[in-house]
Amino acid sequence: MRLISVTVELGGPYREEHGQWHMIRLPEGSTVRDALRRVGVEEELYIVVVRNRRQSSLGEALRDGDNLVAYPPVGGG
């Protein structure tokens, strides 16, 4: 099975819990959700996911070289 490489950055509390930067390899056809689970993020509701600098959904299929950023919409000041 062909593998794709995806970088994942976690922000806010996810960063504290699971680390900030992750470079992972996933089977082709994997989704944003698969990538986030791989790095330990199970949350599916209170989360903002950005794929290649655009807001994304968990079900979107990933491509080789994709960049993901995921964070709860916590906000600061």
Instruction: Name the one range near other proteins by CB under 8 A: 6-14, 28-36, 58-66.
Output: 6-14
Nearest one of 27, 33, 28 to 59, comparing CA atoms: 33
- Residue 18 to residues 42, 48, 59, 64, Cα–Cα distance (Å): 11, 16, 21, 23
CA distance 37 to 74: 20
CB 70, CB 47: distance < 8 Å: yes
Q: Interaction with other proteins in 36-65: which residues (CB under 8 A)?
A: 45-46, 48, 50, 53-55
Regarding 22 and contact with other proteins (CB under 8 A), the answer is no
Regarding 13 and contact with other proteins (CB under 8 A), the answer is yes
Choice from 7, 11, 24, 34 touching other proteins (CB under 8 A): 11
Residues of this chain that interact with other proteins (CB under 8 A) are 9, 11-13, 15, 20, 45-46, 48, 50, 53-55, 69, 71-77
